[in-house]
A = this chain, B = another copy of it.
């Protein structure tokens, strides 16, 4: 039987979720609607609500409830998982002093401003002193959080529950030579493909019509969500039935907004598939970035870039965009599935994307281990880049300054992108072994695929740690061979 303390903790977390979700609504509005002059006050509102939520989840009353609930737990799977996650969050939150949290927040806010300036001026040295501060802070936080094997573990834990750097390294070491070689062949093959280019204008209203139809067809519930426009696409959840996606539109290429929507709708399907009654509890929450990203990539890449998908959607696209009417599906697939070396990660295709991630992970880890000095980042970056991409970035802005993650203090985040890619391919492979799932693709019916993800991933919330979840769903931990197979089928 559920103890009183456990029941009280559940109630406490429902209260905290009311605050977090209110704050998320303010954050969504900030990205989509906020007038310029309103930014400073919005920051105050969000900081106030975050402070209240933090206080409620770290104060003495909370601590006592948590201990009492642990001492009297009923050993049911749901309560064990919730207690495991609550304890984890509580310990991590309370191990940082208010002083370091404030120092950290100030440092990253300064760093962000200087990163923007440095990137504009293509000059890493402007950013370097701030990078040093953030690196020192990351190490200081890692020591406070604690770790078993190496400092990077404590940072990785922020984004990928239960992951160990050693395991990531093992996976990446196996993956890296194969993906470098595969990418190089894919790029060479694409160069001989003589692919067509899009012509003419793709009116935004028509892009939106297509995007909505596509998102609806894969199961995104517009009665519990919506799509808006922002510079950088994202997905955020504002309540148990309120998932907001965003995308961006280019007049000359409708696929940018469409793949943005497919990607974010993949995140959204995960959020809409979490157990609604457990909203705000770990059992009703997504488990990690690596699992979240697997869901977005599944729909964007495995479904959205497939022949079956476009056999169905090409006629609709041609109806909306007359300039596509003399395109065959095969021509179209060649255009959207080109492999090219690009210095910029966010512009990268499937074949070369992971090279960016592996490179930054390696540099991050060397920085944390003290094997690389901040001032040497540009040289290290450019050398590694040349080894993987057979080209050098034209400037720091196209190189080590391209992403905001470090400036936000987000060391440890990057590997989850590739873990997400690998998980997506592994989950897709496993699901499509089921005949009713793979057979339904020819009718562009992806409902059985979604049902499988609902059952194996979405409905589980954070009941299992990510790698346990992968084992339950696919029979093994993250294994890069499925992704290599997928890329090889698509590009070679």
Question: Which A residues have a C-beta under 8 Å from some C-beta of B?
Answer: 15, 18-19, 21-23, 25-26, 29, 33-38, 40-42, 44-45, 48-49, 221-226, 228, 238-242, 279
Contact = CB atoms under 8 A, between A and B. Distances in A.
Given A45-B239, A239-B42, A226 B33 contact: yes
A45 B22 contact: yes
Contact of A241 (B25, B37, B238, B239): B37
B35 A222 contact: yes
Given A41-B241, A239-B42, A240-B41, A224 B21 contact: no
For the complex of A and B, the 10 pairs showing the least CB-CB separation, nearest first, are A38-B242, A37-B241, A41-B239, A37-B224, A18-B48, A36-B223, A38-B241, A37-B223, A22-B45, A38-B239
A475 B382 CA distance: 76
A224 B35 contact: yes
Q: Is the interface of A mostly helix, strand, loop or mixed?
A: helix
Residue among A18, A35, A222, A225 with max Cβ neighbours from chain B (10 Å) = A35
Contacts of A225: 35
B35 A18 contact: no
Contacts of A242: 34-35, 37-38, 41-42
B25 A29 contact: yes
Contact of A224 (B25, B38, B241): B38
A150 B209 CA distance: 59
A22 B22 contact: yes
Nearest to A48: B18
Nearest to A279: B41
A219 to B, nearest CB: 15
Given A33-B228, A36-B224, 18 more contacts: A15-B48, A18-B44, A18-B48, A21-B45, A22-B49, A25-B26, A25-B29, A29-B29, A33-B226, A35-B222, A35-B224, A35-B241, A35-B242, A38-B224, A41-B240, A41-B241, A42-B239, A42-B242
